[in-house]
Amino acid sequence: MKDKMAEEKLKLEDLLGGVQRIEELERIEYVAIVGAGVMGQGIAQTIAAAGIDVLVVERSDEQIERATESLKTTMEREISRWAMTQSEMKSVLTRIKWTVDKNEIPECDLLIEAVDENYDLKRKIFRELDEIAKPETIFISNTSTLSLTKIAEVTKRRDRIIGMHFLNPVPKVPLVELVRALETSDKTVEIIKKFAAKIGKTAVEVYEYPGFVTTRAIVPLLNEAMHILLEGVASAKDIDTAMRLGYNFNTGPLEMADAMGLDEVLAWMETLWATLGEARYRPCPILRKLVRERKLGKKTGEGFFKYDADGKRIN
């Protein structure tokens, strides 16, 4: 009788221990973000605004300095528009820690990679961080076109690899695509759905496929608008006006591409063209020309249109 009671007690303790481990796994209080570009900054701001501490990891102090100044400038612009208060900005900035030391990552409950759309770079980062992060930590990639399954291959946590495709500007767009890799577990999806809701995002679950939903759908529209411009059918201004007023778009396709970054748009098109082989994804020559000239849109002050220091269109 005593042996049976002892056995039942052990089972109960194991069950309670399992529940506690699941609760600990779902408790996300400290998030690491690798990459402090425009997307990394926006993701950091969004997460910090939700009351979660953030660690942003970059390769050099110079990049960190540029990123911190850029984020402050962006938020100060929001303050000038009455979209944010000084106290809100201070609250966000105090929750963000910037570092070049990736050895602080093991302290984090979740890791988000937000570097350029480059397979080799992403796989290198995941391989390195897989060795130092806690075994239960979920790894997220902010990829917009690449295969999560191929990225996950270099890790020992394939069931805990998932994509979160944020759209720019991250703090303002209420959507995020949750991308399942081949071996992503249902538990991982459940945890990240709750995390997305906590940071104010509506999560749309998609299965791995080049471009997912948002990128695959928007790229042909952007590309066709560029071809219309190239063929001299209408000016850039009139193309955007036609699409805004005719279809109730907030922003025309050419200004939208400028906001996304023309180098990013070109990378998406080249990936979709290479993987799907369909002509609608083949980049328009005018896009290649602008990228060669480093006219990348709002971030450089010129793309299809020109912009002032605050990113406001001036032509």
Burial status of residue 29 (CB atoms within 10 A of its CB: 0-12, 13-18, 19 or more)? exposed
Q: How far apart are CA 133 and CA 144, in angstroms?
A: 24
Q: What domains can you pick out in the chain, each with its CATH number?
A: 23-207 (3.40.50.720), 215-292 (1.10.1040.50)
Give, for all 315 residues of the chain, the pLDDT tens digit.
Answer: 556 666 666 655 555 554 444 454 568 999 999 999 999 999 999 999 999 999 999 999 999 999 999 999 999 989 998 989 999 999 999 999 999 999 889 999 999 999 988 889 999 999 999 999 999 999 999 988 888 999 999 999 999 999 999 998 899 999 999 999 999 999 999 999 999 999 999 999 998 888 899 999 999 999 999 999 999 999 999 999 999 999 999 999 999 999 999 999 999 999 999 999 999 999 999 999 999 999 999 999 999 999 998 788 997
- Contact between 172 and 75 under an 8 Å Cβ cutoff? The reply is no
- CB atoms near residue 63 (< 10 Å): 15
Element (H, E) at 179: strand 175-180
Tokens matching residue 286:
């005018």
